[in-house]
């Protein structure tokens, strides 16, 4: 009985304790349920803080395309190398650690794959940090290099995917396009920001707006299926279509490369514009840079064409000529005394040969580029009237082309000598864009067009958010005056006494004006010497109904004084090549009956026999290059119905694996075609034509393949061949 009583007491005690605990737990549960708080903290907020996640959905930066949709700048994917150092991320006693276990071995291996010394890598890998990065050496890694490093299975080594701005054409129009680079100022969000050129001026259009995703996760970070994730989609940047034509831009770049290599001038500027609309079809300069690597940018950040003003020299003479014709005081058959024009209280104005050519007509004076003829015309119309025409042609004010830091130039018109000197392009400074703008009034029947670069801007849905920048700026002269001015400009190229004879082009009649401007340097004054001039030519063609304006300037080229080589020689090598190739590419009919080297409507060879395609394309005088081992054509680059210049390459893709061709002698534009056709990424070094390639010919390639291509100008190749020949002969 005593034992039973004792057991009952213990049972009662246990019952009481458990009942009390149950009551306390129930009470606590009800309190939490009713108040939703624990120790004064909201449970809902605590759960959201612990399990609610958000992530940035990055917007893509808009592409920059040429007028035909060819890419000039676009986003690509690269990878950033990251090393995890904290041992806590690795499970205990595991055979697959998630952190760097052996820093010395890891550093030794990584030094073979990134541009960093082993000791520097080791120093990073031994820091007291959760994870580390490797600076510039660990960024912008290609997919292929990432895969190679991943295949080594180094513990703790991982990668972060990033966007990078890519410029597939290298130096092509680099100062115009500019570049965008990653801004790391916000540690939580890195973004591409335009630094110069179109990338900077249209950054608000190109950048886009990032999105965001908010969701609830489990303890491991995975989205709960019932969380109802909230997604704000990113708004990708707009696509910018420029007026630039990549083919014409390539003509300009290659011609400038050759002159730059041969004459080593301090600067070159070149512009190609549509004579009827003012659209800029090509624009480049030397020195230049590669926007992918920034190599060369330290030589010149400035867009010379936009940001600098200069004395144009005699190319400016079409302005006072047009003014004199409009005012009715220009008689081409009237005679004047060349040689000297006296200015009261100042030094006399002289012709470029100092003594002139005796008494000649104004027509001959313009052909000979007589300064005295221009001064006489200004005197006849009156300096105030001439000043009014300078304003009507809008010199002295920016064109408003939309690029940063556009110069306005300075009209020096205070003293009588300055007023007369302006008529032949001295004393007063202008910009290359102002000269193009003024010339459109002559080529467009008196109607002056604003030079512009934007064809259109399109959002991610295909809606046009900004239309063409084409704009008429009024009529500084009449249609008849423009016509007569063109005839006089034509006579400088084709006339008996014309200074522009080097600028004749077979099959087309060119009108234009040469220029030789003195160069002023602070502290030195006006430079002297055979080479110390800014040589230029502004020309249009065909002369009877101009389609193109080409303006080329070459500063201080290394001319051969012993052979009396004139400054027109390097200028004409650029102008003639660019003008003729561009006219043919645009299928502008020659003035004379000559064979047109433009092929129209390249047939569609898709699913056709490769051998048949090769035969037919060869008969069309283009050069087919087969990229593959198949028998059936899957695509051609350029595609069907594309205009091709005679002997231009057309790439043929087949229904089997792609094969690397022998690129020796290929131009940069040909290499770009290959990259576009295959997706293979090639790092291009130099300018000119291919002299070496890292991927051997006939090697099978895929879209993930990468390689290196080295280019050299023809003259450089010749120098090396001659040097090798000399070295061999001396042995």
pLDDT, one tens digit per residue, over 139-172 is 888 888 888 998 988 999 998 887 788 898 989 9
Cα-Cα-Cα-Cα dihedral sign, residues 628, 632, 635, 641: positive
Mean pLDDT of all residues in 250-268: 95
Give the per-residue pLDDT at 729. Answer: 45
Q: Are 265 and 155 in a shared domain? A: no
Give the per-residue pLDDT at 403. Answer: 93
Where does the pLDDT of residue 432 fall: very low under 50, low under 70, confident under 90, or very high at 90 and above?
A: very high
Question: Is residue 295 domain-resident?
Answer: yes
Give the per-residue pLDDT at 722. Answer: 47
SS3 (DSSP) at 634: strand
Give the per-residue pLDDT at 163. Answer: 75
CATH (domain of 76): 3.90.1310.10
- To 5 degrees, how large is the angle CA 480–CA 424–CA 411? 95
Question: Is residue 39 domain-resident?
Answer: yes
Task: Tell me how far apart the alpha carbons of residues 470 and 447 are, in angstroms, rounded to a whole number.
Answer: 13
Q: Are 289 and 172 in a shared domain? A: no
Give the per-residue pLDDT at 308. Answer: 95
Mean pLDDT of all residues in 364-379: 96
CA distances from 178 to 165, 194, 280, 431 (A): 11, 8, 16, 20
Q: 286 forms bridges with which residues in the sheet?
A: 268
Catalytic choice (63, 201, 284, 314) = 314
Give the per-residue pLDDT at 222. Answer: 47
Task: Tell me how far apart the alpha carbons of residues 267 and 282 are, in angstroms, rounded to a whole number.
Answer: 17
Give the per-residue pLDDT at 436. Answer: 98
Nearest to 359 by CA among 411, 104, 351, 655: 351
Domain count, the chain: 4
Give the per-residue pLDDT at 731. Answer: 46
Q: How many CB atoms lie within 10 A of CB 92?
A: 5
Q: Are 643 and 515 in a shared domain? A: no
Q: Are 44 and 65 in a shared domain? A: no
The per-residue pLDDT for range 700-715, each reduced to its tens digit, is: 888 888 888 888 765 4
Mean pLDDT of all residues in 50-76: 81
Question: Is residue 333 domain-resident?
Answer: no
Q: Give whichever of 383-392, 512-521, 668-677 has the largest mean pLDDT.
A: 383-392
Is the confidence at residue 699, as pLDDT, over 70? Answer: yes
Cα 53 → chain centroid: 40
Q: Are 38 and 75 in a shared domain? A: no
Mean pLDDT of all residues in 331-351: 93
Mean pLDDT of all residues in 123-137: 89
CA distances from 710 to 219, 573, 680 (A): 53, 25, 16
Is the confidence at residue 413, as pLDDT, over 70? Answer: yes
The verdict on whether 314 is a catalytic residue reads yes
Q: Are 292 and 202 in a shared domain? A: no
Tell me if 510 sits within 8 A of 540, measured CB to CB: yes
Is the confidence at residue 597, as pLDDT, over 90? Answer: no
Give the per-residue pLDDT at 426. Answer: 92
> Which two tokens mark 479?
């249609």
CATH (domain of 650): 3.30.10.20
Is the confidence at residue 399, as pLDDT, over 80? Answer: yes
> Which two tokens mark 422?
């302006």
Of 516 and 601, the structure prediction assigns the larger pLDDT to 516
Q: Which of 54, 71, 98 is the last residue of a domain?
A: 54
Average pLDDT of the chain? Answer: 86
Q: Is 596 exposed, middle or buried (0-12, 13-18, 19+ CB in 10 A)?
A: middle
Q: Are 439 and 561 in a shared domain? A: yes
Give the per-residue pLDDT at 451. Answer: 97
**Could you give phi then psi for residue 212, rounded to 5 degrees?**
-155, 145
Give the per-residue pLDDT at 578. Answer: 97
Is the confidence at residue 79, as pLDDT, over 80? Answer: yes
Beta strands in 295-405 (DSSP E): 335-337, 340-341, 349-350, 359-361
Q: Are 527 and 453 in a shared domain? A: yes
Give the per-residue pLDDT at 220. Answer: 44
Q: Are 633 and 706 in a shared domain? A: yes
Give the distance between the most distant pair of CA atoms in the chain.
154
CA distances from 373 to 143, 224, 362, 488 (A): 66, 86, 6, 14
Q: 440 forms bridges with which residues in the sheet?
A: none
Is the confidence at residue 49, as pLDDT, over 80? Answer: no
Tell me if 315 sits within 8 A of 386, measured CB to CB: no
Beta strands in 556-657 (DSSP E): 598-599, 623-627, 633-637, 644-645, 649-654
Nearest to 586 by CA among 639, 637, 546: 546
Is the confidence at residue 281, as pLDDT, over 80? Answer: yes
Q: Are 662 and 610 in a shared domain? A: yes
Q: Are 503 and 614 in a shared domain? A: no
Is the confidence at residue 65, as pLDDT, over 60? Answer: yes
Where does the pLDDT of residue 313 fall: very low under 50, low under 70, confident under 90, or very high at 90 and above?
A: very high
Give the per-residue pLDDT at 518. Answer: 86
| Percentage of residues in the chain having pLDDT higher than 90 | 50
Give the per-residue pLDDT at 438. Answer: 98
The per-residue pLDDT for range 501-511, each reduced to its tens digit, is: 999 998 899 99
Q: 724 forms bridges with which residues in the sheet?
A: none
Nearest to 578 by CA among 508, 671, 494, 497: 508
Q: Which of 536, 558, 585 is the last residue of a domain?
A: 585
Question: Is residue 650 domain-resident?
Answer: yes
Question: Is residue 252 domain-resident?
Answer: yes
Q: CA dihedral defined by 545, 550, 553, 558, rounded to 10 degrees?
A: -100
CATH (domain of 501): 3.40.710.10
Question: Is residue 608 domain-resident?
Answer: yes
The per-residue pLDDT for range 515-524, each reduced to its tens digit, is: 999 887 777 7
Q: Which of 182, 207, 232 is the last residue of a domain?
A: 207
Is the confidence at residue 398, as pLDDT, over 90? Answer: yes
Where does the pLDDT of residue 18 fall: very low under 50, low under 70, confident under 90, or very high at 90 and above?
A: confident
Task: Tell me how far apart the alpha carbons of residues 362 and 369 are, in angstroms, rounded to a whole number.
Answer: 10
Give the per-residue pLDDT at 593. Answer: 42
Give the per-residue pLDDT at 730. Answer: 46
Question: Is residue 388 domain-resident?
Answer: no
Query: Which residues form the domain of 322?
Result: 246-327+432-585
Tell me if 551 sits within 8 A of 256, measured CB to CB: no
E strand or H helix at 51, and its extent?
Answer: helix 43-51
Question: Is residue 116 domain-resident?
Answer: yes
Where does the pLDDT of residue 17 fall: very low under 50, low under 70, confident under 90, or very high at 90 and above?
A: confident
CA distances from 159 to 60, 122, 142, 162 (A): 20, 18, 11, 9
Q: Are 542 and 443 in a shared domain? A: yes
Tell me if 242 sits within 8 A of 201, measured CB to CB: no
Which residues does 37 contact at the CB level (< 8 Å), separation at least 6? 43
- Looking up tokens 């087969």 gives 626
> Which two tokens mark 423?
């008529």
Task: Tell me how far apart the alpha carbons of residues 86 and 498 are, in angstroms, rounded to a whole number.
Answer: 79
Nearest to 659 by CA among 606, 683, 695: 695
Tell me if 661 sits within 8 A of 697, measured CB to CB: yes
Name which of 110-119, 535-544, 642-651 the model is least confident about: 642-651
């Amino acid at each position: 009985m005593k034992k039973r009583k004792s057991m009952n007491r213990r049972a009662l005690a246990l019952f009481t304790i458990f009942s009390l605990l149950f009551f306390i737990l129930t009470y606590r549960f009800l309190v939490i349920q009713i108040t939703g708080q624990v120790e004064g903290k909201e449970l809902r907020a605590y759960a959201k803080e612990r399990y609610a996640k958000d992530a940035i959905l990055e917007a893509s930066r808009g592409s920059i395309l040429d007028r035909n949709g060819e890419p000039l700048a676009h986003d690509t994917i690269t990878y950033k190398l990251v090393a995890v150092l904290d041992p806590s991320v690795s499970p205990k006693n595991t055979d697959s650690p998630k952190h760097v276990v052996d820093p010395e071995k890891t550093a030794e291996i990584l030094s073979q794959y990134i541009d960093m010394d082993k000791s520097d890598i080791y120093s990073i890998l031994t820091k007291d940090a959760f994870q580390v990065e490797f600076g510039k050496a660990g960024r912008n890694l290609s997919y292929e290099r990432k895969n190679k490093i991943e295949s080594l299975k180094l513990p703790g080594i991982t990668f972060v995917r990033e966007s990078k701005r890519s410029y597939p054409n290298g130096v092509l129009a680099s100062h115009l396009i500019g570049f965008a680079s990653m801004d790391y100022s916000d540690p939580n969000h890195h973004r591409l920001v335009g630094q110069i050129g179109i990338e900077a001026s249209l950054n608000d259009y190109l950048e886009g707006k990032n999105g965001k995703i908010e969701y609830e996760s489990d303890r491991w970070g995975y989205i709960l299926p019932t969380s109802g994730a909230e997604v704000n989609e990113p708004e990708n940047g707009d696509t910018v279509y420029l007026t630039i034509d990549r083919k014409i831009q390539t003509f300009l770049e290659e011609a400038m490369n050759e002159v730059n290599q041969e004459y080593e001038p301090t600067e070159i500027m070149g512009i190609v514009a549509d004579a009827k609309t003012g659209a800029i079809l090509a624009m480049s300069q030397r020195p230049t840079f590669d926007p992918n690597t920034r190599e060369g940018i330290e030589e010149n950040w400035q867009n010379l064409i936009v940001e600098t003003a200069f004395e144009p020299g005699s190319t400016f003479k079409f302005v006072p000529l047009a003014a004199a014709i409009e005012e009715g005081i220009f008689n081409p058959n009237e005679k004047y005394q060349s040689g000297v024009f006296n200015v009261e209280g100042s030094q006399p104005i002289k012709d470029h040969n100092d003594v002139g050519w005796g008494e000649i007509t104004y027509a001959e004076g313009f052909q000979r580029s007589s300064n005295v003829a221009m001064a006489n015309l200004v005197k006849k119309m009156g300096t105030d009237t001439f000043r009014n025409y300078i304003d009507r042609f809008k010199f002295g004010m920016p064109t408003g082309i939309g690029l940063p830091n556009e110069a306005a130039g300075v009209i020096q018109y205070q003293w009588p000598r300055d007023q007369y000197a302006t008529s032949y392009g001295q004393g007063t400074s202008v910009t290359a864009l102002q000269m193009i703008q003024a010339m459109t009034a002559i080529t467009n029947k008196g109607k002056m067009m604003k030079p512009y670069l934007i064809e259109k801007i399109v959002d991610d849905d295909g809606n046009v958010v900004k239309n063409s920048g084409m704009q008429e700026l009024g009529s500084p002269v009449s249609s008849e005056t423009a016509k007569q001015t063109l005839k006089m400009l034509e006579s400088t190229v084709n006339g008996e006494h014309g200074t522009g004879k080097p600028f004749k082009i077979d099959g087309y009649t060119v009108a234009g004006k040469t220029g030789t401007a003195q160069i002023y340097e602070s502290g030195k004054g006006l430079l002297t010497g055979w080479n110390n001039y800014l040589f230029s030519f502004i020309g249009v063609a065909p002369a009877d109904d101009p389609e193109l304006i080409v303006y080329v300037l070459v500063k201080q080229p290394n001319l051969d004084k012993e052979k009396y080589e004139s400054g027109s020689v390097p200028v004409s090598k650029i102008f003639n090549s660019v003008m003729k190739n561009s006219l043919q590419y645009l299928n502008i009919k020659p003035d004379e009956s000559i064979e047109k080297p433009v092929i129209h409507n390249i047939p569609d060879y898709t699913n056709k026999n490769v051998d048949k395609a090769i035969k037919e394309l060869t008969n069309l005088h283009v050069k087919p290059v087969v990229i593959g081992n198949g028998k059936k054509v899957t695509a051609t680059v350029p595609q069907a119905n594309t205009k091709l210049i005679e002997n231009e390459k057309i790439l043929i893709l087949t229904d089997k694996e792609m094969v690397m061709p022998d690129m020796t002698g290929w131009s940069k534009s040909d290499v770009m075609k290959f990259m576009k056709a295959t997706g293979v990424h090639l790092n291009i070094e130099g300018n000119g034509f291919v002299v070496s390639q890292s991927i051997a010919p006939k090697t099978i390639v895929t879209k993930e393949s990468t390689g290196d291509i080295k280019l050299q100008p023809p003259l450089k190749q010749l120098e090396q061949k001659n040097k090798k020949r000399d070295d061999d002969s001396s042995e």
